[in-house]
Chains A and B, each alone.
Chain A
Amino acid sequence: MQEFNISEGNLEQCLKCNLCTLVCPMMQVNEYYPGPKKAGPDGERYRLKDPDYYDYALKYCLNCKRCEVSCPSGVKVGDIIQAARLKYAGHNLRDFVLASTDLVGSLSTPFAPIVNATLKARPVKAVLHTVMGVDAQRKFPSYSQKTFTRWFRKASVPGGEADQSGFERFVRFYHGCYVQYNYPQLGKDLVKVVNAAGYGVRLLEGERCCGVALISNSFGRQATRQARANIAALQQAVAAGEDIVTVSSTCTFTLRDEYPNVLHLDNAAVRPHLTLLSRWLCRQGPLPFRKDLHLRIAYHTACHMQKLGWRSYTLQLLRQIPGVEVIELEPRCCGIAGTFGFKKENYAWSQAIGQGLFDAIREIAPDYVVTECETCKWQIEMSTGVPVLNPVSLLAMSIV
């Protein structure tokens, strides 16, 4: 009669072994955070009785999901916490600005030189610090002058949409906000690699921001709206028999796992067809690598990459590049956690969490750190001075 115990987020499987508390990066540096077990399954039993038991210290959860990776019982500790934050937490203007990555992105792009200059200028930083609560020491990601899609659709550019029509097989590219507004070059790199693998690239119809920042800042309604639009866009591609590839571990994880587990949206039809480019490439034939590279790179497993469980695909691929020495960093959190580290009240914690990783990188002193996560990139570059590449960019550099 009783076979499996099933409850939301597997709350009941929690045996209170506390292994998750050993791996929670926030608990190690912030005494106000009760930790994943108390914030997740313990707290949830009380919240089921009465929402008044919601604890505002849940805002400190980084949503890194390291608790879930460590859990011997399959409890979705991080999902339970995220779902509780969506349900109960309030928010302010600063959180909305930071969370709306595509809104800020689309406002900033036409004026990118101005925005970039203002974001770097000290007085403006001070205003951000006091009015908005963004930390003054933080380098704000700079915005590109031209969005990725504008580049791609422009008829004359090599590698652009017009050039893709020569292929017989296609993949769709979910580019995400970072490629679109901050670093279109990564998108161009992806096009180069995919083309080298013998496929053409197409864009999705009506792609939206994945909503990860909206979720972690408790804007559930807005996140759900974006998610529905994205699922519809992905469904179109799947109906056309095309896989969807991505470059960002966080977008990928959000589209695949946060939609069903935290927003409770059904994405089962599209989920298996959505994958990081490195995993997709492992199913294709070998790439035409050049032989003249001499690089030492350190691979950093972003938290959401760890949660996806796909680091071995990337490592396998990077190790095929001639002349590239790949050093695996022990998986650690860099501390930025998306928008978390941008808030001034979190800056010190954010840096304390990343310290072990920064030290390890400085000791190895690689030519590049390679990681799938754009916010890890900002954090590591700011904190160590070592340039950070997405694996797709490294692959683009490595092929003829």
Chain B
Amino acid sequence: MKFDALIIGGGRSGSAAGRALLSRGLHVCVVADGLHLGVDGADPYAHLNALAREGATVLRGDRALRGIWEEGRLRAVQTVKLEDEPIEASVFVLATGKFFSRGLLSDMERVYEPVFGADVSFLSGRSNWYAADFFAPQPFLDFGVQTDPEGHVLFGGVPCPNLYAVGGILAKGAAAADPARISLSTQD
């Protein structure tokens, strides 16, 4: 399958980006792995149904596994359910959220972004991840993916020209992409 834009993550930020790109007349696919917090309790799929009505292809309950790269650009994303048939797109938006939605994973030593291995800012030493007081600011809530000022995701400090990030997955202070200004041009 091939689209103009592939959005990875069907939460609030992913849906908003999807709507913005649809309104530009683009052909959009959203990979929505599980529900996110903050859904409408009466109709938890309302936001995804709305996207589908507006013409997006919504892959409910599917999960991005890894990127397929070509000359420094992301060409396609492989998912759990489409298996050996990666989804191709011109631009990609990473909107998988933080820990709860598994946009960021952690082990005993580190925090990482599992789909692409993007740059993640976090503090070293687990005892620095939290404050002892539950109600104090919690450092781990500031961890996240790093971007350039246009919201391009960084890899080893270098921005990927067609992978953008929005929403909870961003590190504190990292710029979110503006879906209205995401360029489809390959010369970017």
Contact = CB atoms under 8 A, between A and B. Distances in A.
Question: Within 8 Å by CB, do A and B touch in the complex?
Answer: yes
A69 B36 contact: no
Contacts of A272: 83-84
B107 A2 contact: yes
Contacts of A22: 35, 39, 41, 44
B177 interface: no
A80 B178 CA distance: 41
Contacts of A316: 1
B43 to A, nearest CB: 9
Interface stretch (A41-49, A117-125, A185-193, A304-312): A304-312
A68 B63 CA distance: 12
A23 B45 contact: yes
B172 interface: no
Q: Which bracket fits the contact residues of A?
A: 20 to 34
A15 interface: yes
A371 B105 CA distance: 37
Contacts of A68: 61
Contacts of A70: 34-35, 44, 61
A15 to B, nearest CB: 7
Nearest to A68: B61
A17 B45 contact: no
B39 A309 contact: no
Nearest to A70: B35
A137 interface: no
Contacts of A286: none
Interface stretch (A71-79, A230-238, A381-389): A71-79
Interface in B78-92: 79-85
Contacts of B57: 312, 315
Interface in A308-363: 308-310, 312, 315-316, 328, 330-331
Nearest to A283: B85
A19 B10 CA distance: 14
A119 to B, nearest CB: 37
B136 interface: no
B81 A309 contact: yes
A360 to B, nearest CB: 11
Contacts of A292: none
Contacts of A69: 34, 60-61
A19 B81 contact: no
B108 interface: yes
* 7 smallest beta-carbon distances between A and B, as pairs: A309-B81, A69-B61, A72-B34, A19-B35, A22-B44, A309-B62, A3-B107
18 contacts: A1-B108, A2-B107, A2-B108, A17-B37, A19-B39, A22-B44, A23-B45, A69-B61, A70-B35, A70-B44, A70-B61, A71-B35, A72-B102, A74-B34, A74-B102, A309-B60, A310-B82, A316-B1
